Copies of this chain bind each other. A is one copy, B any other.
């Protein structure tokens, strides 16, 4: 049995709070159970040097974890003097996922940085970051439209992500920390709202996984992502 009597294919309760902080053009607190990530989208009126004058925009992301977001305290990366490999891997993934649903030509010479800072971590922080960042990004684009900077929304749709895993014979959707630690295989799936895939990252922590298991994992992810997209849409309609 999963904690809180969750079913194998059940996503944790999702809560998406928009305008969570006052200054960011898009500010979303996303919660998947006990995992809480603050996603702030910041618009800058210029692009990186290598993009200058090409009439295109850019979307990027940074990821961080508050030192005590975790069960025991993690050393602060700023104090360490560098971002760790895991952080870099995750922020590159978030950024790629967001760019996959944005028409960079259509957004004009603006740059949007989405900061995903984990307030509390209980598994699935990278997928929660992507799912929350998509909403923050939508708000930031709306801000550009409302201010007459661009005419139409350059987002082609929502992007959402979930982690799925194999625990013994079971395929579990939206792993929380204790499940993630115990899983043999952990897979992060990023999809568009129409069910196509942007990223699939499956890793065998213990035994390698078979083709059949992969298909089962993808099916579970697909179902979970549909629920997340529903929550994203509901949040944006409020």
Contacts and interface: CB of A to CB of B under 8 A. Distances in A.
Interface in A78-120: 78-89, 91-92, 96, 100, 113, 115, 117, 119-120
Contact of A120 (B21, B77, B119): B21
Given A38-B66, A68-B23, A196 B218 contact: no
Interface in A178-217: 187, 191-192, 196-204, 207-211, 214
Nearest to A100: B204
A44 interface: yes
A73 B113 contact: yes
A27 interface: yes
Nearest to A199: B203
26 contacts: A21-B119, A22-B120, A22-B122, A23-B72, A23-B120, A24-B68, A62-B76, A64-B76, A67-B113, A67-B115, A67-B117, A73-B113, A76-B78, A76-B115, A78-B80, A84-B88, A88-B88, A89-B89, A96-B203, A100-B204, A196-B208, A197-B202, A197-B204, A199-B202, A200-B202, A201-B201
